[in-house]
Amino acid sequence: MNKYIAECIGTFWLVLGGCGSAVLAAGFPDVGIGLLGVSLAFGLTVLTMAYAIGHISGCHLNPAVSVGLWAGGRFPANELMPYIIAQVIGAILGAGALFLIASGQPSFDLSAGFASNGFGAHSPGGYSMIAALVAEIVLTLMFIFVIMGATDKRAPAGLAPIAIGLCLTLIHLISIPVTNTSVNPARSTGVALFVGDWAIAQLWLFWLAPIVGGIVGAKLYRLVAKEEQSDH
């Protein structure tokens, strides 16, 4: 159970740290951290947790990462569902903690989005469903590609969390205006459950696209790196 608890705690931290930076700090008058700050916050949650729990659970924190690593022969199929359940529970708990904090501010408005992911009218930049779908697939593909490469036994030891955290930062710098950046179905689910309505209606894209991207990214890395599939 230790690895499932670790995944739950890690995903809690990702949602509280990443979404929390967007909800609580991004637009704070005069000193708000803005898009760059939110992007860094998401990257830092993964970097810090990778060092904290990477040796316990592998620090996936993301169903698309777990599915991608399975597709790449790095993760056993029989652990997929427990990992995904732990990640979603952690994301919901993180969103719950964030809601309790944010709702303590008199002007808090849940209908403003609560860092939910969306497209069309609910995209920060008004991007279409197709644009959102392409962005989420391609960026998750590259995220898994970097994860596979950084954790390859031939890669420099001990530096993977830095590469992975900075990759997630870069992904957010690119795509916050498009979808508010998901590349993580658990992260999307946690906050969407509190917003309800449109956030739940559009949630399908933020499960489908990251998982497709994760599978393709893992297969592409194996092809490029000539990595042998394990027996998982």
The pLDDT value given to residue 46? 96
Show the beta-strand stretches assigned E in 153-216: none
The pLDDT value given to residue 213? 97
**Cα–Cα distance, 48 to 99 (Å, whole number):** 23
Residue 61, sorted as left (phi over 0), alpha (psi -120 to 50) or beta, turns out to be left
What are 53-87's pLDDT values in tens digits? 999 999 999 999 999 999 999 999 999 999 999 99
What are 108-150's pLDDT values in tens digits? 988 888 999 999 999 999 999 999 999 999 999 999 999 999 9
With 70 as the cut, is the pLDDT of residue 229 above it?
no
The pLDDT value given to residue 111? 84
The pLDDT value given to residue 125? 95
Reported as type and span, the H/E element at residue 73 is none
With 60 as the cut, is the pLDDT of residue 230 above it?
no
In-domain check, residue 178 = yes
What are 164-201's pLDDT values in tens digits? 999 999 999 999 999 999 999 999 999 999 999 999 99
With 50 as the cut, is the pLDDT of residue 38 above it?
yes
The pLDDT value given to residue 226? 81
In-domain check, residue 80 = yes
In-domain check, residue 183 = yes
With 80 as the cut, is the pLDDT of residue 228 above it?
no
Q: Is 124 exposed, middle or buried (0-12, 13-18, 19+ CB in 10 A)?
A: middle
Residue 1 has which token pair? 């159970």
In-domain check, residue 149 = yes
The pLDDT value given to residue 29? 85
**Cα–Cα distance, 87 to 128 (Å, whole number):** 28
With 50 as the cut, is the pLDDT of residue 231 above it?
no
The pLDDT value given to residue 58? 92
CATH number at residue 122: 1.20.1080.10
In-domain check, residue 231 = no
In-domain check, residue 82 = yes
**Cα–Cα distance, 91 to 15 (Å, whole number):** 6
Tally of domains in the chain:
1
SS3 14: helix
In-domain check, residue 112 = no
**Amino acid at the residue 182:** S
Higher per-residue pLDDT: 177 or 29:
177
The verdict on pTM exceeding 0.85 is: yes
- Name the DSSP class of 227: P
**Best CA proximity match to 15, nearest among 188, 219, 231, 215:** 188
In-domain check, residue 169 = yes
- The average pLDDT across 37-63 equals 96
Range of the domain at 177: 3-106+117-224
| Arithmetic mean of pLDDT over the chain | 94
Q: How far is CA 218 from CA 143, 149, 172, 211, in A?
A: 9, 10, 20, 11
